[in-house]
Structure 1
Amino acid sequence: MSLRQTPFPKSSLRSFLNVISGISLTIVFILVVFQPFGTSNFDHPNKFWILMGYGVITFFSGLFFYLLIYTITSDTRLDRWSVLDEVLFLFGIILICQIGCYFYWAGMFVGRLDWSQFLYFFKIASLISLVPVSVYLLFIYQKYKEVKFVSGNKIPIEYSEPEKEEQHLTIYGAGKNEKIIIAPENLFLVKSEDNYVILFLRENGKIIKRMMRNTLSEIEQQIGSSFFRCHRSFIINPAKIAEIEGNITNTKIGLTDIDTKIPVSRSMVEKAKMFVLQ
């Protein structure tokens, strides 16, 4: 599957703030502790405060770009945010942060702008960011490469009993035309991914994954009480429980035909065990 077709759950503002804060603090830590790129030769009574400024610039530059993208991007595009979109977004973030840090450096140390210095600054910053960004992109591609967008299609229904033919679930996403119709027994698992959910469904005897923009709480209301929210990030079909393992502090559920072990909140352990005994 191409990067354009591979979905990616666009981060909420809260999640992005956590990420950009971590990146900014990491930059400050590296500059203050290891003092690379000649900063060890820089002598100033407020040296550490000045170096911390790079972290501040990175934080606000990243936040500005995030808010800009969310403002100019349509809801339809956000509903179908892909790995390719995330790649472009990340490189945009890197570019904006590099420009901001260069202006900060030029203002603090040089007092003027110079294109040759900017290109050198850009080259160094790009080389530093290339490895972690590449590793991150490879990780998210591998994680979501088997997931597809929900597009209003009806998943083929596999019934074993004639009287069940009229039963079905209609699950709606937050985006326009985001809808999926499925037999309850073909919905195995719903997993939260920030402002998105991934549905684990059975189609033609195989488990497939579909992503839509919505919260897990909203999906829980739509599919009804016959499903079990065992964890703040997971809803399972109790009829598909194959096993329960672990102790009360680390209980996990195994589902039929799904390799992933599902964590169980401590308050839900006894209820989960009751489903197995039924």
Structure 2
Amino acid sequence: MISILNKPHPFIFNKFSVLVPSAITFLLILLLAPSYFQNLEPIERGVAAFFTTLLVGLCIRLSVPLLKKLLPTAMNEDDWTIGKEILLILSVVCIMIIAISVLLFVLRDNEETVVALVFKTASLTIGISIFPIIITVLFEQYHHQKLQVKKATSLTTYLATENKKLRATTRISSQPGEKLLIKSDNQNIELRLDPNDLIFMKSDGNYMEVYYHDMDDIKTKLIRNTMKSITAVLPNTSFLRCHKSFIVNGNYIIKVEGNARNLELKLKGVATNIPVSRAKVKEVSKFLEGN
């Protein structure tokens, strides 16, 4: 179960994230008249369905951006999983329960206690939403996994063409003996490298992990500096920032892989794949396709 909850999942929030649940809510109330709505006349039920639907839409539209603002680390789209998606949906459902309970409290015509009203609203809301939630999560998982695999396959195929093979074997132009100087934040030179020996770099707080070739080995050096400062000295024709925490030497990319959440780059001689953030997918695609 834990492995399933930790599976990558796309973070999707657009107009359909609001419209689809709202439309389902309206139709269920209007046609099935669950619980409290059974006692209403058709016109009254339609009005109640409209305002309940409007409330549901507002809860979804406002709560997700608010949660992203309040919990930026937990809501990081590049680390999104099925478990986080379920927690987000349940959080929004709880907000909806509170909002609908307030609405029904205002509209009620009996002496039902607040606790009983909230309990009935929770049962009603969860009952209405549980199947659309399950179907939506499963559909998103399947659909985006399929799209990402297709995109990854397309880019990998392009990498395998004759032109891409030629580019992959072309070394970064440099004058004989010219070295790439990697400095710390106090401007001390930490590494002198042939640009072709620099494989990738990873940001780790105020430090950069530099992975490079030294003879036949791949070595790592931790340097205190920012991604922005080090990126400024790299040739942008060969080095690509594919993620907020990663810069890669494009000549080492041999394959693109994908899951439901994002793309990953496989580098020659490197065991761990390098993630591509959603914001960088187009940039990476253009880079690999030579545009």
TM over 0.5: yes
Instruction: Work out whether residues 263 and 276 of structure 2, in 8 Å CA contact, stay in contact via their aligned partners in 1.
Output: yes
Aligned to 1:212, which of 247, 264, 277? Answer: 277
Indicate the residue corresponding to 1:26 in structure 2. Answer: 24
The CA distance in 2 between the partners of 1:180 and 1:110, in whole Å, is: 65
Once the two structures are TM-superposed, the CA of residue 103 in structure 1 deviates from its matched residue by 1.3
Residues 226-237 of structure 1 aligned to structure 2 (within 5 Å):
226=290
Pairwise mapping of residues 245-256 of structure 1 onto structure 2 (< 5 A)? none
3-state DSSP of counterpart to 1:172: strand
Q: Tell me what 2:104 maps to.
A: 105
Q: Equivalent residue for 1:129?
A: 129
Partner amino acid, structure 1, of 2:7: T
In the other structure, the counterpart of 2:254 is 186
1:91 maps onto 2:86 in alignment: no
The residue type equivalent to 2:11 in the other structure is K
Q: Which runs of 5+ in 1 are unaligned?
A: 148-157, 228-278
Inter-partner Cα distance in structure 2 for 1:139 and 1:71: 27
Deviations 1:230-260 (A, max 9, x none): xxxxxxxxxxxxxxxxxxxxxxxxxxxxxxx
Normalised by the length of structure 1, the TM-score is 0.57
SS of residue paired to 1:2? helix
- Pair 1:30–1:128, CA change in 2 (3 A): closer
CA, structure 1 residues 10+170, in 2 after alignment: closer, same or farther (shift >3 Å)? farther
**Aligned 1:1-278 pairs, distance under 5 A:** 2-3=3-4, 5-12=6-13, 15=14, 17-37=15-35, 39-43=37-41, 46-74=44-72, 78=76, 79-110=78-109, 114-140=114-140, 163-164=169-170, 170-175=239-244, 177-181=245-249, 183=251, 186-188=254-256, 197-199=262-264, 201=266, 210-221=275-286, 223=287, 225-226=289-290
Whose radius of gyration is greater, 1 or 2? 2
**Structure 1 contact 189–201 (Cα < 8 Å) conserved:** yes
Normalising by structure 2, we get a TM-score of 0.55
Counterparts of 1:9 and 1:178, CA distance in 2:
20
CA shift digits 1:30-72 (9 cap, x unpaired) = 2223333353431375442222111011011112211211111
Conserved 8 A contact 1:178-1:212: no
Give the SS at the match of 1:11.
coil
Distance 1:203 1:45, change over 3 A: same
| Aligned sequence identity (%) | 10
Cα offset for 1:24? Answer: 0.6
* Preserved contact between residue 265 and residue 276 of structure 2 (Cα < 8 Å): no
